Structure 1
Amino acid sequence: MLLVGRPEIAERIVGTRLGGVLDMAAEREVLLGTLRVWLDNGCSAARAAELLYCHRNTVLNRIGRIAELTGCNAESGEVRLGWALALRALPLLAGDGEGAPGP
């Protein structure tokens, strides 16, 4: 991956696309985990809810919270691509303390 050798780019992508979420210590892990599962399953709230053992509306509320925190529209393909890239870049940041959030 191109970002492995360019940590400054990874840091910029993560900060730009997920900065607001990363600032929310209490919600960060659940929001990032939900976002990853939602994106990895074609942005299907129903499928993500099934995998996360929660209600579909819970997934939609979390995605809405992410959109609010990042100032982005979750309906935008460009935004979704940016979020996906940022999630993949997050573990590459040295000392980020978060690792790759799971479901």
Structure 2
Amino acid sequence: MFLKMYLFNVYESKIIFNPSKDSYKINDEVTIELLELNGFGSRIPFASKANFELNVLEGKEFIKLSDLRETKIIAFKKEGIVKLSFITKNSLMPIYKEIKIN
């Protein structure tokens, strides 16, 4: 019973940026995915990709967002700092990320 709770329930959500860098250049593209983790810190078995909502808090003019269902693609247009928040179905609080564009 306890094994089932830790193995199949969502305990944490992690946002994955591919490629992952400290800063990005103009015309770079980034793919964003959500990874939901179980109580052991690994991907939940047999789970489909989770959906998430992406909000641009600051710097909307610096990016072009392609909104797909399970992944989001960002293309960078100008130099600056972009602040994002991610809301998932299972999260209690949003996840925040700041991206620097050179």
TM-score (norm 1): 0.22
Flag the structure with higher strand content.
Answer: 2
Larger radius of gyration: 2
